[in-house]
Amino acid sequence: MQKLDKYIFRQLSLIFVFFLFIFTLIFWINKAVSLFDRLIADGHSSSLLFEFALLSLPSTTTTVFPLACFASVIFVTNRLKNDCELTVLQSAGLSPWRMNKPYLIFGLLGMLILGVFTTFVVPNTAKILHEKQKELDSSVSARLLKEGKFIHPLKGVTFYIQEIESDGTLLNVFLNDRRNKDEFLTYTATRAFLAKDENKTVLYMENGLIQTVGNLRNDLSTIEFKSVSIDLSDALTKKENNITHLSHVSTWLLINNKREVASVTKASYGSIVLELHNRIHRPMFFLVAAILGFSTLLMGNYNRFGFGKQIALAISIIVVIKITESYSIKLSLQNFLLWPLVYFPSLIGIISSILFLNISASEYQLKNRAQ
């Protein structure tokens, strides 16, 4: 690259990293908040929350990368325009197509990096996250045995243990079961312990009370007990789902063995083909964001449109692209032979960029002739 290209490319890269950090942080906080209720409310540690949020980050790259790219292109081009650097470049004889070169290189490089994420990193981390969730669901200690915390191992069930002794004895246990709308049950006991009984997980409680609230007749009854057992299998285990989601399947397997993918995911051939082409297509949005952002702002440099209008135009085209994407995916799912439509949204962005660069080039030539 020439010095000019290196200069603009360096500016784009630095600002891109800044916006990437900001957008990633926003998405990460949003993801962490959504995970908080599911993990912390069930008594899991904050370190596990951080691990889950970190593993979920790669899945946001398809949104965050193009956003950061578009923002960095707008920022850098606006600065070049306000500092009259674009005017100097035009006076030096550089055409719009030539000035687009560093943006094109930036877009292509970013597209390759994003391609690595969408085809390799995202499926692998999604699979790891899914497996860790399954381990968490099948772990008795992770789902139930938490000191000093109210947890909800099952919808309508609240469980509390004040203290757990070294031998596994549970002290001052509270269990509230509101799954039956007609009757709410509350168990309290000074001592309890978990045990395996055949294929069941049973909670044995000693020296306590059972309080029953009947909602139909609004009555209350209390029974003392010396020993009672409660089957907690439903609260501690979830039904095994051995079906793998398409997003967890490696790209290599999608390409080379669609029959095996169909076997483990129970997905149709059309869905498998669409998933593969989606992974290939998504990185193209980075290239579109780079050249579309530059070409719209450059066109304003010659036509003297307001800068805000150019940004609005670029955003409007991106909205059209995203709407087109949703419709193209829907049509492709209905008929997998229409899979080329997956690439149509990016094609709209590329054609628009070429059109705007042509308009700018025409204005550039007219200006040179007038001089």
For position 94, what pLDDT does the model report?
83
Q: How far is Cα 61 from Cα 63, in angstroms, rounded to an integer?
A: 5
**Strand positions, DSSP E, the chain:** 151-154, 157-164, 170-177, 183-197, 200-214, 219-231
Assess if residue 92 is contained within a domain: yes
Q: Last residue of some domain: 186, 206, 231?
A: 231
pLDDT in tens, 203-219: 889 999 998 887 666 77
Q: Is the pLDDT of residue 366 over 80?
A: no
pLDDT in tens, 217-247: 677 888 888 988 887 766 555 545 556 788 8
Report CA torsion sign: 269, 272, 277, 280.
negative
Q: Same domain for 163 and 131? A: no
Q: Same domain for 308 and 366? A: yes
Q: Give the mean pLDDT of 119-123.
A: 90
Q: How confident is the model at residue 156 (pLDDT cuts 50, 70, 90)?
A: confident
146-160, 224-238, 244-258, 270-284 — most confident range: 270-284
List strands edge to edge, sheet with 183-197. Answer: 151-154, 157-164, 170-177, 183-197, 200-214, 219-231
Assess if residue 192 is contained within a domain: yes
Q: Same domain for 292 and 350? A: yes
Q: Which pair of structure tokens corresponds to residue 112?
A: 């390759």
For position 177, what pLDDT does the model report?
86
Q: Same domain for 212 and 257? A: no
Assess if residue 236 is contained within a domain: no
The region of weakest confidence among 25-39, 138-152, 291-305 is 138-152
Q: For residues 186 and 227, is the Cβ–Cβ distance under 8 A?
A: no
Q: How confident is the model at residue 343 (pLDDT cuts 50, 70, 90)?
A: very high
Q: Is the pLDDT of residue 298 over 60?
A: yes
Q: Same domain for 176 and 154? A: yes
Assess if residue 80 is contained within a domain: yes
For position 166, what pLDDT does the model report?
77
Q: How confident is the model at residue 302 (pLDDT cuts 50, 70, 90)?
A: very low
Q: How many CB atoms lie within 10 A of CB 178?
A: 15
Q: What is the DSSP string of 255-292?
A: HH-HHHHHHHH---HHHHHHHHHHHHHTTHHHHHHHHH
Q: Give the mean pLDDT of 349-359.
A: 92
Burial of 7 per CB tally in 10 Å (0-12, 13-18, 19+): middle
Q: Same domain for 22 and 133? A: yes
Q: How far is Cα 287 from Cα 111, in angstroms, rounded to an integer?
A: 6
Q: Considering its fold, how many domains does the chain have in total? A: 2
User: Which pTM does this prediction carry?
Assistant: 0.72
Q: Same domain for 318 and 254? A: yes
Assess if residue 238 is contained within a domain: no
More confident residue, 144 or 342: 342
Q: Same domain for 113 and 166? A: no
Assess if residue 237 is contained within a domain: no
Q: Give the mean pLDDT of 124-149.
A: 72
Q: Which pair of structure tokens corresponds to residue 188?
A: 């309290």
Q: Same domain for 108 and 248? A: yes
Question: What is the average pLDDT score of the chain?
Answer: 83
* Residue 259 belongs to domain spanning: 3-138+243-370
Q: Is the pLDDT of residue 368 over 60?
A: yes
Q: Last residue of some domain: 178, 201, 231?
A: 231
